[in-house]
Amino acid sequence: MRITIWGALSLLFFLGLTSAQPQPKTIILATTTSTQDSGLLDVLIPIFEKKTGYFVKTIAVGSGQAMAMGQKGEADVLLVHSPAAEKKFVAEGYGINRRIIMHNDYIVVGSSEDPAKIKGMKSSSESFKKIAATKTLFMSRGDNSGTHAKEKVIWKAAGINPEGQRWYQQTGLGMGQTLNVTAEKKGYTLTDRGTYLALKKNLGLDILVEGDAILLNIYHVIEANPTKWPKVNAAGGKAFADFMVSKETQEIIRTFGVDKFGSPLFFPDAGKKEEELGK
Amino acid sequence: MKFDIFELVGNQEKVMDLILEGIKKAFYLLITFDPEVMKITLLSLQVSGTATFVSLLIGISIGVTIALSKFPGKRIVVSLINTGMALPPVVVGLFVTIFLWRNGPLGFFGILYTPTAMIMAQTVIATPIVMGITLAAIQQLPQKLRLQILSLGATRLQMVWILIKEAKLPLLAAVMAGFGGVISEVGASIMVGGNIKGYSRVLTTATVMETSRGNFDIAIALGIILLLLAYFINLILTQIQQRERPR
């Protein structure tokens, strides 16, 4: 008797779950944790789904992992911010129609004590040189994300290899958590402005270096190449990419974050050339 | 490193404030039946409940069978099952993901990043736990009991059923251990589920996300709700476990 009751209950359970099955038109969007954490996608995705009837599975991982997914044909469209790796991705034939969507910028943050005295410096690579010279703690994402890639570019510009040095630590975590670890240990780190603004209230880190041209953080949308991976939802990927560059979406991006943080988190750039971007 | 007593006390206060904020948030979310929280709580229960149920069926049936049989290499099989209890959930998640990739062996199902995939991964995690404890529970029963039951005229099937009832206490502990293992699991759930809002997001994956966003009060609140959920389920299971058999 009891078995039948349990059986019935579990059947109800399972039925309840199957009702949550995806609609036939599904798109896998591989994107970065910073785009998801900013909350922008929570606004844009429902609009897109309502408009087109697609069901979007947003998988937020680092840019590196997002492109690895694209390379294996496990994602239909990518929204990432790691330009050098993206160019390689497209050159190797894994992605098509790489289009610019928006940008914001990176900033170097640290405790107000600023032992390396980098506050107000104009050049991020020079500030990195000072951090290395004073051997002050620097926290790196260390996860092949777009932020990590940018950080490596700046170290290269500074002519320094920080790998293996005691003051250079890699968390392997997302931006929010890395910021928390940095604040806890009173170190320095490179972060995108959006995540910093979102966490600023409880964080205890100050903006020390900003505005350097190299600190531009540019987001592109890339569709997975269906000739390489036939199982890719090419139409869905294109629909999403087209949506991201559309006038209405770009307008939403332009004002996103103003009410909550006082300034927009992203600057829309669809149709522009990468070289034109500036402050 | 300077030791500042005022800073230490101050920090304790900050931590207590944060936890208090979390508790208040948890109450608020529950009392107002916040729809998103209700959805992820229900999904946690559905996914882990189904996984525990399936692992219960597989684990107890195979566990009882192995416990009651004799065959060469039994020790090795038992130690493999016991090792299965130590399977790292995140490794299970990685393997299930690779299998469920579109271009992987089970890709044609198209169930990666769905609650179904989460149930699959959680079943793989929970089954060895239920199986291993069931094995020990049945092996613990006195040898003579089997013969006694058979000599009273029971069929083999009836005997197995009676043995299971005799081992009710540890068997329910096995189910609770299996459930506990998967309701609290996050690594596999994030990997195979994708933490998709309103679809494959559960309490554990939402907690990780809110923490990485720096929303500690929400993260603590979700943690408290998860504990409450686990408590109520285990309350029911413990009632069943501890109920005295009518004599």
ipTM: 0.78
> Per residue in A109-122, pLDDT tens?
999 999 999 999 99
Residue B18 has a pLDDT of: 81
Angstrom distance (rounded) from CA A59 to CA A6: 35
Q: Which fold has domain A105-215?
A: D-Maltodextrin-Binding Protein; domain 2 (3.40.190)
Domain range enclosing B176: 5-242
Structure-block tokens of residue B38: 């209700």
In one-letter notation, the amino acid at residue A79 is L
B212 touching chain A per CB within 8 A: yes
User: Is B113's CB within 8 Å of A59's CB?
Assistant: yes
Q: Is the model's pLDDT at B12 over the cut of 80?
A: no
What pTM value is reported for the model?
A: 0.84
The answer to whether residue B227 is domain-embedded is yes
Show residues of chain B in contact with A73, CB under 8 Å: 102-103
Residue B102 has a pLDDT of: 87
The total of structural domains in chain B comes to 1
* Residue in A14, A73, A174 closest to B50 by CB: A14
A28 touching chain B per CB within 8 A: yes
Show residues of chain B in contact with A229, CB under 8 Å: 102-103
The answer to whether residue B90 is domain-embedded is yes
The answer to whether residue B247 is domain-embedded is no
Residue A16 has a pLDDT of: 53
CATH number at residue B199: 1.10.3720.10
The pLDDT confidence band at residue A257, using thresholds 50, 70 and 90, is confident
B27 touching chain A per CB within 8 A: no
Residues in CB range of B186: below 8 A, 6 or more apart = B89, B204, B205, B207, B208
Residue A69 has a pLDDT of: 93
The answer to whether residue B186 is domain-embedded is yes
> Per residue in B172-210, pLDDT tens?
999 999 999 999 999 999 999 999 988 999 999 999 888
A57 touching chain B per CB within 8 A: yes
Classify domain A24-103+219-270 by CATH number. Answer: 3.40.190.10
Angstrom distance (rounded) from CA A57 to CA A28: 5
Residue A7 has a pLDDT of: 63
Residue B77 has a pLDDT of: 95
More confident: A58 or A195? A58
Q: Which residue intervals of B69-202 are DSSP H helices?
A: 74-84, 89-100, 115-140, 143-151, 156-166, 168-183, 187-193
Structure-block tokens of residue B245: 């058999």
The pLDDT confidence band at residue A33, using thresholds 50, 70 and 90, is confident
Q: What is the mean pLDDT of chain A?
A: 88
Of A1-15, A53-67, A202-216, B33-47, the least confident: A1-15
> Per residue in A5-15, pLDDT tens?
666 666 656 55
Residue A114 has a pLDDT of: 92
Angstrom distance (rounded) from CA A61 to CA A75: 12
**CATH 3.40.190.10 domain residues, chain A:** 24-103+219-270, 105-215
Angstrom distance (rounded) from CA B197 to CA B112: 15
Q: Is the model's pLDDT at B217 over the cut of 60?
A: yes
The pLDDT confidence band at residue B245, using thresholds 50, 70 and 90, is low
HEC string of B20-46 equals: HHHHHHHHHHHHCCCHHHHHHHHHHHH
B41 touching chain A per CB within 8 A: no
The answer to whether residue B150 is domain-embedded is yes
Residue B116 has a pLDDT of: 94
Show residues of chain B in contact with A10, CB under 8 Å: 49-50, 53
The answer to whether residue B37 is domain-embedded is yes
